[in-house]
Amino acid sequence: MSKSLDFTTQTTQTPLGQKETALAQNDIVICSILRAGVPLHQGVMNYFDNADSAFISAYRHHKTNSSDFEIIVEYVACPSLENKTLVLVDPMLATRQSLTLTYEALLRYGTPKNVYLISVIGAKKGVDFVSQNFDSTTQLWIADIDDVLDENGYIVPGLGDAGDLAFGSKLQK
- Whether 81 is in a domain gets the answer yes
pLDDT tens digits, residue range 59-80?
777 677 666 777 778 889 999 9
> What pLDDT does residue 101 have?
84
Bigger pLDDT: 99 or 55? 55
Check residue 23 and give its pLDDT: 84
Domain span holding position 44: 26-157
Would 126 be classed as within a structural domain? Answer: yes
Assigned domain for 112 exists = yes
> pLDDT value at position 150?
82
- pLDDT computed for residue 151 by the predictor: 78
Mean pLDDT of the chain: 84
| CA–CA gap between residue 73 and residue 61 (Å, rounded) | 10
CATH (domain of 33): 3.40.50.2020
Does 56 fall in a domain? yes
Query: How many domains in the chain?
Result: 1
The mean pLDDT value for 134-156 works out to 83
The DSSP string of 97-166 is HHHHHHHHHHGGG---SEEEEEEEEEEHHHHHHHHHHS-TTEEEEEEEEESEE-TTS-EES--S-HHHHH
Determine the distance from the C-alpha atom of residue 3 to the mean position of all C-alpha atoms in its chain, rounded to a whole number.
18
Q: Please indicate, yes or no, if residue 58 is contained in any of the structural domains.
A: yes
On whether residue 173 sits in a domain, the answer given is: no
pTM given for the model: 0.80
Is 50 a domain residue?
yes
**In this predicted model, which residue has the larger pLDDT, 159 or 39?**
39
Residue 7 within a domain: no
